[in-house]
Chain A
Amino acid sequence: MSHGVLEVDCLTKDFPGLRALDHVSLRLRSGTVHALMGENGAGKSTLMRIIAGDLKPTSGQVRLRGRACEFSGPRAALLAGIAMIHQELNLVPGMTVAENIWIGREPRTRLGLINHRELHRRTSSLLEQLAIELDPGVRLGDLGIAQQQMIEIARAVSWDSDVLLMDEPTSSLTDREVCHLFALIRQLKGRGKAIVYITHKMSEVFEIADEISILRDGRQVATAAADKFVPSQLVALMVGRELEQLFPKTAAPIGATALAVHGLSLAGVLSEICFELRRGETLGVAGLVGAGRTNLAETLFGLTPATAGQIHIDGREVVIDSPQRAIEHGIAFLTEDRKRTGLFPALSVLENIQIASLPRFTHHGFVHERALSSDCRQLCETLQIKVRDLDDVVMELSGGNQQKVLIARWLLTHPRILILDEPTRGVDVAAKAEIHRLMSQLASRGVAVILISSELPEVLAMSDRIMVMHQGRVSGVLERAEATQEKVLELAAL
Chain B
Amino acid sequence: MSSPMNGIGSIRAAVRRRRWPAEFSIALILIGIAVVFELLGWVVRQQSFLASPERLIIIVLQVSIIGLLAVGVTPVIITAGIDLSSGSVVALSAMVAASLAQAAGTTGAVFPALTDLPALVPIAAALAVGAAVGVANGALVSYARLPAFIATLGTMVTVRGMARLYTHGRPVSMLTDSYTAIGAGARPVFVFFAVAAVFHIVLRYTRFGKYVYAIGGNMQAARVSGIDVNRHLLAVYSCAGLLSGLAGVMTSARAATGQAGMGTGYELDAITAAVIGGTSLSGGVGMVTATVIGTLILGVITSGFTFLGVDAYLQDIAKGLIIVAAVMADQYRRRQRRATGPLKAKEPA
Contact = CB atoms under 8 A, between A and B. Distances in A.
A123 interface: no
13 contacts: A45-B349, A46-B347, A217-B345, A340-B221, A342-B221, A342-B224, A344-B284, A347-B217, A355-B225, A359-B226, A369-B205, A388-B344, A398-B345
Given A17-B340, A20-B347, A41-B346, A359 B224 contact: no
Contacts, number: 134
B226 A396 contact: no
A111 to B, nearest CB: 34
Interface size class of B (residues with CB under 8 A): 35 or more
The 5 A-B residue pairs whose C-beta atoms are closest, nearest first, are A344-B217, A346-B284, A41-B345, A17-B343, A327-B226
A409 interface: yes
B217 A409 contact: no
A43 interface: yes
A464 B228 CA distance: 35
Interface of A is mostly: mixed
Interface stretch (B175-183, B206-214, B312-320): B206-214
A351 B213 contact: yes
Interface string A201-227: 000000000000000011000000000
Interface size class of A (residues with CB under 8 A): 35 or more
B107 interface: no
Contacts of B225: 323, 355-356, 409
Nearest to A302: B226
B227 to A, nearest CB: 8
B221 A44 contact: no
Given A323-B226, A362-B207, A346 B1 contact: no
A345 B348 contact: no
B339 A16 contact: yes
A308 interface: no
Interface string B329-349: 000000000011111111111
B289 to A, nearest CB: 17
A88 interface: yes
Contact of A365 (B208, B228, B284): B208
A386 B344 CA distance: 9
A346 B347 contact: no
B207 A323 contact: no
B52 interface: no
B218 interface: yes
A338 to B, nearest CB: 9
A471 interface: no
Interface string B266-307: 000000000000001000110000000000000000000000
Contacts of B342: 15, 17-18, 396
Contacts of B340: 16-17
Contact of A322 (B1, B228, B346): B228
A121 interface: no
Contacts of A42: 347
